[in-house]
Amino acid sequence: MDRLIRIGSRDSNLALWQAKFIENLLNKQGIKTEITLVKSEGDINLTVPLYEMGVQGIFTKTLDSALLSNKIDIAVHSLKDVPTQLPKNLKIAAIPKRANVKDALVYQDPTFKVSEREGITIATSSLRRKAQWLNKYPNHTIESIRGNINTRLEKLGSTTHWNAALFASAGIDRIGLNVPNKLELDWMLPAPAQGALGIVCREDDPEVEAICKTLNHHETAVCTGIERSFLRNLKGGCSIPIAALAIADNNKIHFTGNILSLDGVRKVEVEMDFELENYENAGKLAALKLLANGGDKIAQELKSFMTE
């Protein structure tokens, strides 16, 4: 194929790593590529909390616009940042094999130990991480931190009253950051599709779609599809405190999802098992079960919060 595939990317270290990762996979197939950099509003404004910025697609809409205006051919995103409803004429062409799904606590002082005592301050910009942390450690204080991974690590090092900050392990692992001290949190449920990449293209470009499909990992696509369906049926955006994880094993899928109040006081969780061959409605069924078990009240409160 002689066509040059233009890959759109944000200019952060992580976004560039993701774009180059896909570029390398395409180059191995003999596909010619180039990377086009686009800066998003989420990268420019590092002071306003994400939930005050119309969070839906804050890191993806600039690349979406570039795709629709034919300035690029594909966009590579962290799939957890991609709204469950894409703009008209765009589609997810492929989801490569997923990386680490866990969240991690990063801290400067090697003697720091997590405990339930008061006086501990944790930094995060994620309402999901904040709610889950406060649910487990209600005596702690949570403060907002913005910026890419490198910027947040610098802020952690220079802000003396922060004990630690929360990150996605996949992001740290991908760009090979040397963090001072890192503790992966087995108890914290990740964002829907965390650890996965999404390759988005135009619907009217079947040639590019066919090329991208060669990079698709079926099991990852199924599991993240269930998680995103769960989120969509709860009518939640990517920054709402809704978490989900689907794991495929021996032709079965084990799903766990939850929703929390913003202060972390209330949590409703759902666990279900599905046959792998019957995965299409799994996310919807899990969402309906969670809503019926009391999650509807929290979901309504969150919806009101996001539309204020």
Give catalytic residue positions.
81
3-state DSSP of the chain: CCCEEEEEECCCHHHHHHHHHHHHHHHCCCCEEEEEECCCHHHHCCCCCHHHCCCCCCCCHHHHHHHHCCCCCEEEEEHHHCCCCCCCCEEEEECCCCCCCCEEEEECCCCCCCCCCCCCEEECCCHHHHHHHHHHCCCCEEECCCCCHHHHHHHHHHCCCCCEEEEEHHHHHHCCCCCCEEEEECCCCCCCCCCCEEEEEECCCHHHHHHHHCCCCHHHHHHHHHHHHHHHHCCCCCCCCEEEEEEEECCEEEEEEEEECCCCCCEEEEEEEEEHHHCCCHHHHHHHHHHHHHHHHHHHHHHHHHHC
How far is Cα 253 from Cα 117, in angstroms, rounded to an integer?
A: 38
- Residues 6 or more apart whose CB falls under 8 angstroms from that of 127 comprise 51, 239, 240, 241, 262
